Amino acid sequence: MTTKIASQEMKSLHFTPRKPAMTPGDKVVGAVSHTALTIWSLIVILPLLWTFMSSFKTSSEIFASPFALPSQWRFDNYIRAWSEAGIGSYFLNSVVVVGSALVIVMVLGAMCAYILARYTFPGSKAIYYLMLAGLTFPIFLAMVPLFFIMRNIGLLNTLPGLILVYVGFALPFTVFFLFSFFKSLPHEITEAAALDGAGEWRTFFQVMLPMAKPGLASVAIFNFLGLWNQFLIPVAINAAGPRVLSQGLAAFAGQMGYAVDFGALFAAVTVTVVPVLIVYVIFQRQLQGSVSQGTSK
Amino acid sequence: MTSVKAKTLRVGDGASAVVVPDTAPPAYKRRRKPLTFDKISFFVVFLGLPLAMYILFVISPFAQAFYYSMTDWSGFSPNMNFTGFQNYQKLFTDDIFMKAMGNNILLVIFLPIITIILSLVLATLVTVGGSSKGQIKGLRNSSFYRVVSFFPYTIPAIAIGIMWGQIYDPSGGLLNGLLTSLGMDQFKSFAWLGDKSTAMIATMFVIVWGFIGFYMVLFVAGIKGIPAELFEAARIDGAGRFRTAVSITIPLIRDNIQTAYIYMGILALDAFVYMAALNSGGGPDNSTLVMSQQLFFTAFTKGQFGLASAMGVVLAVATLIFSGLVFLVNRLTGGDKDVSL
C-alpha cells in the first residue's frame, strides 16, 4: 500500500516539477481535511481492531477491561469457533455455494446480455424490462412463494437449491451491467469473425467474451461481495439445511445469550471478515474503478 | 449437481421454444441469413437457459406473492380461500405492523440524507482539499482514506451487526469503555440497544457506518469525472471552495446523488439483517421493529403465508412509491436539465 502511494506521489512530482506555493488558506483547509478524514478512518478501523484483539481474549478478560491487550495470544478461541461452533464447515459451504453460483451467473448473464445487446427481435424489449422488474422489487416479496417452489422441486434446505436461487437473483444485475458493456463493443469485429467463418458460438466464446474481460471482472467482484454477504435467502430457504457462513454466524451469535463464549464469537467474526478484506485490498483498484461504471449506466 | 443441470436444461428448452421461431428473420435487418442449427442452438441456450432460471426463481415468486396476498393460505394445506383485500385491512389496523411501518419511514427519511451528506463532505475533502493554486489537486494520501473508508462495505452485514452489538454491550463493550475512560461515568453500564430512546439512533449509526465509504467512493469517481476546466474557471471567477462545492460539484454529480438516494432508501425499507443482528426481537417497545422482520416472523414462525405475502406487497409498493418520489423531486427541482456532460 505505502509503496503504491509513494509511486503516485513520484509521478505527480514528475509531471509538475514546480511545486505550487501553498497559501495559508490552503494549509488550514488541508489540515482540517486531514483531521476530519483521520477521525473518520479511526471510526472505521477501531471497531475492527477491537474485534480482532478481543478474539484472542477469554470472556473474563473481555469483561474486565475492553481495552487491555490479551494476557497471551491464544488461538483456542479460533479452534473452538472453527470446529465446535462449526464455522469451519459453514465457511466451506459458503465457498462452494458462492463459487458455483458465481461461475454459473457469470456465464448465463454474459450470454443473456450479449443476445439482448447484439440482436433485436420481437420481445427483446420485454425481456429487458422483465430484468428491470427483478432489480426493482424487494427480495422480501418473493420469499414466501420461493419457499414453496423450492419445496415442490425438492431443493429446499439443500446447497444446490441455494446455488440456483443465488444465480436467479444475481442475474438481473449481471445482465444490466454487461448489457451496456457488450453494446459498446464495435460491430465490425463480429462481422470480421463471421467473414472468417466463425459461427455464433465461436464468435461469442473466442472473440466477444475475451474482449469483455474488464467488464466481467467488475461484475464478478460485485457479485462475489453481494452473494458472500447474502443473509435473507439462506435463512428463508435453507433454514434446516447445511448452513452458509452468514447464516451460521447469526445462529452462533443467537445462542450467545445462553452459553457465553464471547472470545469464540469474536474469533468467528474475524474469520468472516478477514478473507473478504484481503480480497478487497488485492482488488481495490479494480473495484473502485467499477463503482462509478456500475451505477452511472 | 449434474442432476440439477439436467433439470434446468430441460426447463430451458421448453421455455425458449416459444421465443426462437420468430427471432431472427423479420426484425433483424442488418444481415438476413437462413436459420442454421448454429443460430438456433445459440439462441435456445443463450437466451432460453438464463431466462428460464430467472422466470422460475425470481419472476414467478414475485407474481405469486400478489395472488397469495389475497388468500388466507396457511401454507401447508392445499386449501386456501380467496379473501380479497381482507389481509390488507388487517395489516392497516394492526398496531404492531403500523409501528414497524413507522420505523421504516423514519429510516427512509433519515438514513439516505445522513449517509449522503456525510459521504459528500468526505468525498469533497478528499478531492478538492489540496492546494488552491495551479492544477486542481486532491488531498495527499487520499487513496489511503478511500481504501479504509471502503472497508465496511466489504464486510458481511451480519458480521457488522454482531460486531456492533458487542461494541454497544453495556458492560464489556468498546463504546461504554471509551466513554467511561473519558470520565463520563453515567454510561458505565448504559444499554444503548436496550433503551427505547437510543436503540433506533444506535442502529441507524451502524447502517450509516456501513455505507458512507461506498458512497464516498462513488462520489469521488463522479467528481473526478468533472472536467478540470470547470473548476479552474470557477476559481478564476473568484469562487471559494465552499461555493465551488455547492454550485459546481453537487449539480454536476446530481445523477450519482439520485442513484445513491434510491439505493439507500431501498435498503432502509428492508434493513432486515441489521435489525435481526442488533435486536432480533424488535428492540425495546418495538422501537427498532421493521416491516421485513414482521414479515419473516409472520411467515416462517406463525405460518400465516397469505398475510405475510400482503406485507411483502406493501413493502414492494412502498419501494416503488419511494423511487418514484425521488425521481419526481429530482425532476421538479431541475434535474437532468443542465447536466448533460
Residue range A133-184, pLDDT digits in tens: 888 888 889 999 999 999 999 999 999 999 999 999 999 999 988 988 888 8
- Mark out the alpha helices in chain B (DSSP H runs): 2-16, 24-27, 37-43, 49-54, 60-68, 86-92, 95-128, 142-154, 157-167, 174-181, 196-224, 228-236, 241-244, 250-252, 254-270, 272-278, 291-300, 305-332
Give Rg (Cα) of chain B. Answer: 26
Q: What is the pTM of this model?
A: 0.83
At residue A260 the predicted structure's pLDDT band, cuts being 50, 70 and 90, is low
Tell me the shortest Cα–Cα distance from A184 to chain B, in angstroms.
17
Answer with the residue of higher pLDDT: B225 or B55.
B55
pLDDT of amino acid A210: 86
Q: Is the pLDDT of residue B2 over 70?
A: no
Question: Which range, A232-246, B9-23, B68-82, has the best average confidence (pLDDT)?
Answer: A232-246
- Mark out the alpha helices in chain A (DSSP H runs): 2-15, 24-54, 59-64, 76-79, 87-118, 124-136, 139-152, 159-184, 187-195, 200-202, 209-211, 213-228, 232-237, 245-255, 262-296
- Determine the Cα–Cα distance for residues B179 and B177; give it in Å rounded to an integer: 6
Count the neighbouring beta carbons within 10 Å of the beta carbon of residue A99. Answer: 13
At residue B22 the predicted structure's pLDDT band, cuts being 50, 70 and 90, is very low
- Determine the Cα–Cα distance for residues B208 and B216; give it in Å rounded to an integer: 12
A185-222 residue pLDDT tens:
888 888 888 888 888 888 888 888 888 888 888 888 88
pLDDT of amino acid A258: 58
pLDDT of amino acid B259: 87
Q: What is the distance in angstroms between the CA of the first residue and the CA of the last residue of chain B?
A: 49
At residue A72 the predicted structure's pLDDT band, cuts being 50, 70 and 90, is confident
Q: Is the pLDDT of residue A15 over 80?
A: no
Taking CA atoms, A192 is separated from A119, A208, A293, in Å, by 17, 12, 28
From chain B, pick out residues whose CB is under 8 angstroms from the CB of A50.
167, 174
Return the DSSP state at A98: H
Residue (of A291, A161, A232) closest to B53 by Cα position: A161
Answer with the residue of higher pLDDT: A268 or B185.
A268
Q: CB under 8 Å to A249, separation ≥6 — which residues?
A: A87, A90, A268, A269, A272, B156, B158, B159, B162
Residue (of A163, A175, A101) closest to A131 by Cα position: A175
Q: Does B213 touch chain A (CB under 8 A)?
A: yes
Place of cell 425532476: B331
From chain A, pick out residues whose CB is under 8 angstroms from the CB of B222.
292, 296
A82-98 residue pLDDT tens:
888 889 999 999 999 99
Q: Is the pLDDT of residue B136 over 60?
A: no
Q: What are phi and psi of B82, to 5 degrees?
A: -80, 125
Answer with the residue of higher pLDDT: B184 or A143.
A143
Can you tell me the ipTM of this complex? 0.82
B56 and A168: CB-CB below 8 Å?
yes
The DSSP bridge partners found for residue B71 are B82
By C-alpha distance, the chain B residue nearest A238 is B300
B158 and A26: CB-CB below 8 Å?
no
Share of chain A above pLDDT 70, in %: 87
